[in-house]
Chains A and B, each alone.
Chain A
Amino acid sequence: MNDNPYKPVDAEIVDIVDESPTIKTFVVRPSEPVGFKTGQFVELTLPGEGEAPFTPSSSPTRSDIMDITVMNVGRMTGLLHQCGKGQPVGIRGPYGNGYPVEQFAGKHVYIVGGGVGLAPIRSLFLTLVERIKHFKSVVCRYGAKTPADFIYKKSLFGGWPEIDGVDISLTVDQPDGDWNGPVGVVTSILKKDDVYIKDAAAVVCGPPVMMKFATLKLLEFGFEPRQIYLSMEKNMSCGIGKCGHCMIGKYYVCKDGPVFTYEQIMKYPDIWD
């Protein structure tokens, strides 16, 4: 066991899936099993270059490999996108709290996602459907910029909608010729009667502006702030609640989050920025 929390476990990229023009999923095999709870995150090191936090998008039932879905948005993610199979990497973690799946038991789980925000949601979704009977329903609303920007296309258009107890709707901001679904941001396909609100938990993950407006919409529908679970994105360096970068109020997103109820953080400034 590693008693230095700053030292990663060696790992290797064993497969790469192109998800969209800007998003790839890296299948990573750590040299020793890294068990995680859905919604927890890891710090992925590209040796000598840097590290960045990602929530694995695979099911936590497998600890020998994990999928890490990465959008090319900055220096580290750009470098990762240039990596091929066999690339040595490092993993620290898992860190943070993860989704409180046990609290969702017996409820409707209302999932609202945008863009690469589907990555943590995929892990949650896989966890939920493994014991779908424990939940009243799993309702997923997901938006992407264009049809090409949907990730996990095979599951999204194939397997997932077929599962009993699952209800999925998709929307795009900009349609192409083949798209015959709804057009608009994800909040435009949220309906008040999608779930029985009194008996539901909402999970929101996506770009900050989408999370903000989805949260406002859910509140307008009558969700209580404590029923809305947000996966917060902040700059996380150490991952263990010390370095200070990821603070939201008194919370360290890396240690106390990344999943917070809106009730926990609503009084603090800058949560959506």
Chain B
Amino acid sequence: MKSVLLTELATFLDAVAGEMDLYVPKQAGEHYVFTRYDRKAGGPAEFNTVRTCVPVKEFLFPLRELAATSAASDKPPDVKPFAVFGLKDCDLRSLEVLDKVFAGDEFLDPFYSKRRQAMFVITGDCTEAGESCFCSVFGGKPFAEKGFDLNLSAVDDGFIVDSGSDKGRGFLERHKDLFGKVPDKAIAQRQENRRKVQADLDANNRLKAGMPLRDVVEQAQESEVFDSEAAGCIECQACTRVCPTCHCFYLYDSKQKDYFTKTKIWDSCMRLGYAAVAGGANPRKILGDRMRHRMLHKFVYFFDRYGLHMCVGCGRCVDADAGGMDIRRILLKLSQQVREKGAKTAESVK
């Protein structure tokens, strides 16, 4: 991977926006959201310190999208290339999860797949550890190593830019006059930045990297923690909306003036009627049962099926939740229970 130095962020963003639609992070209150980059207005050009508030899935699997119509001419629309700047390592790992579901088996979701192919992924190193960030528990890092087209690392002299794909290399080649040589001290500084943010991240978290969370959640599935934690939940479903890996949707039929449509619309497993069937049966009438299912899906079922956790430790659900739900606290309580139970069993065996 050849690194180059960029001194002015705006010149880089202008170059990207000259080739395709570009979405960039913009500070909104205490969070970042994505907005369309306006080249003429020259901005906004911010380098987000941590991940955005909204998940990257919105670009690939929007809240609602037309999935089919009865019109004879109906076919999935072509997608123009577009770029998203300001993604973080946790976002890339959420893409791995979504790729498994929508682009990884015999049934390809044509809408997701087309957008995914059209997306130019530009990541950036995290320059601080967010309060709710716990990506390191899942082997995540505050900087991306693979899965991006281009990655930017902020240093005193500007940004170190790395390419991670042919698309990225092609871009650097086309715009080589924007970039210079990376001074050795910048490489050293990046290393130090990365080490520091990683250390902050580890220090922030009581959950430790490499915890066997799959086994913890499976062994604790009878725990009363799900019910006691659910007592504070106000069922706003914000956790599943902002989650970058949650991908439940409902296929909804409707009538237009002279044709019919099917629309994919985000759904949430925390919703009461989510799993109910027409005959009236509902396997998860109790909120605690829905929370248990959500945790089992994320940490056990998805893992058993696809070999990775359906959680990247981005902490968006922690930030979003009005009821004070904290997935880290739930995992911690479950792991404590499993540990205590293990200790008791060991004692009784003695």
Q: How far is the CA of A52 from the CA of B254 in the complex (A)?
A: 14
In the complex, identify which listed stretch (B115-123, B196-204, B270-278) lies at the interface while the others stay far away. Answer: B270-278
Binary contact track A238-261/B, C-beta < 8 Å → 1, others 0: 101111111101100001000000
Across the two chains, which residue of chain A brings its CB closest to B279?
A73
Interface membership of B205, Cβ < 8 A: no
Interface membership of A269, Cβ < 8 A: yes
User: Do the beta carbons of A50 and B281 come within 8 Å of each other?
Assistant: no
User: Do the beta carbons of B284 and A237 come within 8 Å of each other?
Assistant: no
User: Do the beta carbons of B275 and A241 come within 8 Å of each other?
Assistant: no
User: Do the beta carbons of B107 and A250 come within 8 Å of each other?
Assistant: no
User: Do the beta carbons of B253 and A51 come within 8 Å of each other?
Assistant: yes
- The smallest C-beta distance from A263 to any residue of chain B, in angstroms, reads 16
User: Do the beta carbons of B278 and A76 come within 8 Å of each other?
Assistant: yes
User: Do the beta carbons of B250 and A47 come within 8 Å of each other?
Assistant: no
Q: How far is the CA of A272 from the CA of B274 in the complex (A)?
A: 16
Interface centre among A52, A76, A234 (most CB of B within 10 A): A234
Within 8 A of B (CB), among A209-248: 233-235, 237-238, 240-247
Across the two chains, which residue of chain A brings its CB closest to B76?
A4
Chain B residues, Cβ within 8 Å of A154: none
Q: A208-B281, A270-B284 are in contact. Are A6 and B107 (CB under 8 A)?
A: no
Across the two chains, which residue of chain B brings its CB closest to A246?
B275
User: Do the beta carbons of A245 and B278 come within 8 Å of each other?
Assistant: no
Q: How far is the CA of A77 from the CA of B283 in the complex (A)?
A: 20
Within 8 A of A (CB), among B80-122: 101-102, 105, 107-110
Interface centre among A46, A249, A255 (most CB of B within 10 A): A249
User: Do the beta carbons of B248 and A244 come within 8 Å of each other?
Assistant: yes
User: Do the beta carbons of A242 and B249 come within 8 Å of each other?
Assistant: yes
**How extensive is the interface on chain A, given as a class?**
35 or more
User: Do the beta carbons of B253 and A273 come within 8 Å of each other?
Assistant: no
Interface membership of A48, Cβ < 8 A: yes
Interface membership of A207, Cβ < 8 A: yes
Within 8 A of B (CB), among A8-38: 8, 10
Total number of A-B contacts with CB less than 8 angstroms? 127
Chain B residues, Cβ within 8 Å of A207: 279
User: Interface residues of B, CB < 8 Å — how many?
Assistant: 50
- The smallest C-beta distance from A245 to any residue of chain B, in angstroms, reads 6
Which of A8, A235, A238, A270 is within 8 Å of B277, CB to CB?
Answer: A235
Chain B residues, Cβ within 8 Å of A271: 283
User: Do the beta carbons of B109 and A245 come within 8 Å of each other?
Assistant: no
User: Do the beta carbons of A51 and B251 come within 8 Å of each other?
Assistant: yes
Chain B residues, Cβ within 8 Å of A235: 274-277
Interface membership of B300, Cβ < 8 A: yes
Across the two chains, which residue of chain A brings its CB closest to B304?
A250
Binary contact track B256-270/A, C-beta < 8 Å → 1, others 0: 000011101001010
Q: How far is the CA of A240 from the CA of B251 in the complex (A)?
A: 12
Interface membership of B289, Cβ < 8 A: yes
User: Do the beta carbons of A47 and B301 come within 8 Å of each other?
Assistant: no
User: Do the beta carbons of A241 and B107 come within 8 Å of each other?
Assistant: yes
Across the two chains, which residue of chain A brings its CB closest to B253?
A50
Chain A residues, Cβ within 8 Å of B304: 249-250
User: Do the beta carbons of B248 and A8 come within 8 Å of each other?
Assistant: no
Interface membership of A131, Cβ < 8 A: no
Interface membership of B57, Cβ < 8 A: no
Within 8 A of B (CB), among A40-57: 45-52
Chain A residues, Cβ within 8 Å of B221: 269
Across the two chains, which residue of chain A brings its CB closest to B75?
A4
Chain B residues, Cβ within 8 Å of A90: 70
Which of B74, B76, B255, B264 is within 8 Å of A48, CB to CB?
Answer: B255
Q: How far is the CA of A229 from the CA of B280 in the complex (A)?
A: 23
- The smallest C-beta distance from B264 to any residue of chain A, in angstroms, reads 7
User: Do the beta carbons of B247 and A244 come within 8 Å of each other?
Assistant: yes
Q: How far is the CA of A270 from the CA of B247 in the complex (A)?
A: 22
What are 30 sample pairs from A and B whose C-beta atoms fall under 8 A apart?
A10-B70, A47-B70, A47-B260, A48-B253, A48-B255, A48-B260, A48-B261, A50-B252, A51-B262, A52-B278, A73-B278, A73-B280, A74-B280, A75-B278, A208-B281, A235-B276, A237-B249, A237-B250, A238-B251, A241-B107, A242-B109, A242-B249, A243-B248, A244-B248, A245-B248, A246-B275, A249-B301, A250-B301, A269-B289, A270-B283
Which 5 residue pairs across A and B have the least CB separation, nearest first? Answer: A74-B278, A48-B255, A270-B283, A7-B68, A244-B248
